[in-house]
Structure 1
Amino acid sequence: MLTPSLFEDAQSQSHLLAFERWLVDRRASGFLRQPGSVQVYRDMWGAFTAWCLGQSPAVTLASLDGLDLQAFQAARFGEKSPDLSLSPRYALRFMRLIDRVLQHHAADAGVPVNLAASQWLSDHPEVRYAEASRADPLPEFLSVYEAKTLIAFLSSARPRPGVSASRRDGQAALSWQDVRNRVSVATQLGAGLTPGDVRGLVLASPVVRGGRVRDRPWKLSVPGDGNSAARETPVAPWAGELLHHWLQVRYEAQIEGDWLFPATRTGKPWSKDGQYRAARSVLEEAGIDSADGGSFRLRHTFALRQLRRGTEPAQVARWLGVEPEVMARYDRVVVGPADVV
């Protein structure tokens, strides 16, 4: 537990203030309502602060690095396993707490985020997955490089000012089915849709009114399908540009019917198998392995993108059309700030 003598200098005050401000925000957000939980976190942070100030030189929130965390993990603080180090589960709780306080402190003080705790967890999977069930596999998702590569490939389907003649020729050679296939994949990555969601979209689904850019869809109204209720989900700007282009292509091709992504010019609905094969073909053309995780990886990537940007899990769940409890599966992946696309 924290003691008054522990906070007699500026360094100790900085540790305490960072924790207290994080705690105030957590309580204001409706978290940590139980006094017992608050005390547990106080004791954990007190142990961490005592260790930091006991080093020579003292470890500050700015100077904390992976070697410090490794030494702390091996020290005799908190709950201990037989070798006197922190157990993997308790180490996970500690590192998550440290990471969250560091993130909050950076946002509050306007300083760069210290990523030492999130990086330490990434480097120690035995701790990172300490609470994982063997029967609950991690969601498959695209790496940052894969996502950027795929976005560049998908976006090449729409005209842009200043592109080379060869690029314009390539765009002109695309059939309306080619454009449909790429844009449908874009809605999975850029709006978090399932394959069934894609097939169920109608012409009224893209929402333009209220957006920042004229005529560019910025969200989608996803119809209910019997398994989930109707919902709305935001569309990434790059995917919105592609949707806008597809609507033009669809109109110029004189495609009938109300489906946003029909199977034929006469407006027949897209079959499950047809849409699956189209998505797989697009991924392969983009150089993305289509066998591992399928197009559901795109939806998972959307979810992780939103969570890594700080969106509340409950909000992301509403966009995905799932129950809030489902978001727990991403906890083992989102350990701290990361590049997002």
Structure 2
Amino acid sequence: MDTLWLTNPTLAYRDWQAREAAGADRRPFAARSIVQHQAMFEHFRRHLMARETSVVTFGADDIEAFWLSAEARTYSQATRMRYVKLLDRLCRHLVFTGVRQDNPAAPFLAVERWPDTEPTPQYLDADADARLQAYLQSPANDLAQLRSRAIVATFLATGITAAEARAARIVDLVPDAHPPYLFVPAHGPRDARTVHLPEFAVPVLRAWLARRKTLPIEGDRLFTLTPDGRPITDMSFGRIVSSVLEAIGEADAEMSPRTLRNTFGRRQLLAGRSREEVSLMLGLSSHRTCDRVAATIPVDRPL
């Protein structure tokens, strides 16, 4: 029996992912998928801790309770399927290594299905968008709150992805330019782009930038949670977005940076910008995402 699953399941999962875990085709997962899987595992493990159980002892009732949690209730069909596949893969491994005797995820895998059509993009409606913008302009009480508001303001004001926010450097944010902007370097298939900052985001981003320059943090990342300058994980970004959305009483949408990215794109479309323009602002080479977001706009509001 691998006792590390009993004493340090986070480390055990990370080690398993790095050494053995693979998809249905037996090919190792990509680095990005591994990061996502680790974040999902940690989210589920914290749920188990709150229910005073563990990866060794949880059952089907714990999975059912997970679906009823505030965040999981907003999950799309595809996200639920990813969680079920992750838990099934995990439990099969634990059974194989003698850590568990059963696989409570198997019945869920039998009934869950990948969506036949693409899910409707999650976004904040205009009222929730306005409330969030107003909240981000209110004074922060401490460093952590200032950083959280700056992070959420960046997603809401620029539409960048979590990966782009992780990679952002101090020099990329220029709130005192005319107009103020965030520079997003080229990466992968995406060209470099400059996104102008709307008025609501400038005060909090200016305040964060001034504070960030005084912090004893290694490196020059714009956002980091640790003194050694390590990039923020998807899980941490999700918690930050979730806490801010909960503060304004918003619980209907998926609480993730992607929801804020879709909100940004939808706001631009409602302002009269073309799909081509908004796709470029989002760093996309196709209009597919904009078309899906545009489909959420009532037909009596022509673009």
TM-score normalised to structure 1 length: 0.50
Query: For 1:291-316, what per-residue CA distance to the aligned partner results, in whole angstroms no more than 9, with x for missing partners?
Result: 63633111111111111111121111
User: Contact 2:242–2:256 (CA<8 Å) still a contact in 1?
Assistant: yes
Q: Deviations over 1:101-128 (max 9, x none)?
A: xxxxxxxxxxxxxxxxxxxxxxxxxxxx
Query: 1:204 Cα shift?
Result: 1.4
SS of 1:252 mapped into structure 2: coil
Counterparts of 1:254 and 1:290, CA distance in 2 = 38
1:1-341 equivalences in 2 (<5 Å): 135-157=117-139, 171=140, 173-174=141-142, 176-208=143-175, 210-212=177-179, 218-226=180-188, 228-289=190-251, 292=254, 294-326=256-288, 327-334=290-297, 335-337=299-301
Alpha-carbon distance in 2 for matches of 1:156, 1:265:
26
2:208 aligns to what SS in structure 1? helix
SS in 1 for 2:213: helix
Rate the CA distance shift 1:321–1:203 in 2: closer, same or farther, 3 A. same
Deviation digits for residues 6-34 of structure 1 (CA, Å, limit 9, x no counterpart): xxxxxxxxxxxxxxxxxxxxxxxxxxxxx
* CA positional deviation for 1:290: 6.9
Higher-Rg member (1/2): 1
Shift of 1:270: 1.7
Given that 2:266 and 2:294 are in contact with CA atoms closer than 8 Å, whether structure 1 keeps it comes out as: no
Report Cα offsets for 1:134-191 as digits up to 9, x if no partner: 613321111122112211222113xxxxxxxxxxxxx3x31x2221111111111111
Distance 1:308 1:329 in 2: 14
Shift of 1:246: 0.4
SS in 1 for 2:136: helix
| 2:12 aligned partner | none
Distance 1:189 1:331 in 2: 17
* Secondary structure class of the residue paired with 1:221: strand
Quote the RMSD (CA, aligned, Å). 2.4
The alignment of Structure 1 onto Structure 2 pairs a total of residues equal to 186
Rounded Cα–Cα distance in structure 2 between residues aligned with 1:219 and 1:291:
27
**Residue type at the aligned position of 2:271:** R
Kindly, what percent of the aligned residue pairs are identical?
Answer: 31
User: Match of 1:28?
Assistant: none
SS in 2 for 1:180: helix
How far 1:207 sits from its partner (Å)? 2.9
Superimposed CA distance per residue, residues 229-262 of structure 1 (whole angstroms, 9 cap, x where no aligned partner) = 3222222111122111101121333444210001
Q: Which has the higher contact order (CA 8 A, sep 6+)?
A: 2
Structure 2 residue ranges without an equivalent (≥5): 1-114
Q: Shift of residue 266 of structure 1?
A: 3.5
Aligned letter for 1:191? T
Contact 1:199 1:269 in 2 (8 A): yes
After superposition, the Cα gap between the structure-2 partners of 1:291 and 1:325, relative to the gap in structure 1 and judged at 3 Å, is closer
TM-score (norm 2): 0.55
- CA distance in 1 between counterparts of 2:146 and 2:119 reads 34
- The answer (yes or no) to whether the contact 1:261–1:270 under 8 Å persists in 2 is yes
Does the aligned pair in 1 maintain the 2:237–2:257 contact within 8 Å?
Answer: no
Assess if the C-alpha contact under 8 Å between 1:224 and 1:231 holds in 2: yes
Structure 1 pair 150–290 and aligned structure 2 pair: CA distance change class (3 A): same
Shift of 1:286: 2.6
Query: Which shifted more, 284-293 or 178-187?
Result: 284-293
Residues of 2 paired with 1:258 and 1:297: CA distance?
27
One-letter identity of the residue aligned with 1:222: V
Partner residue in 2 for 1:117: none
Moved beyond 4 Å, runs of 4+: none
* SS in structure 1 of the partner of residue 169 of structure 2: coil
Structure 1: tracts of 5 or more residues without a match: 1-132, 158-170, 213-217
The answer to whether the 8 Å contact 1:234/1:319 transfers is no
| 2:209 alignment partner, SS class | helix
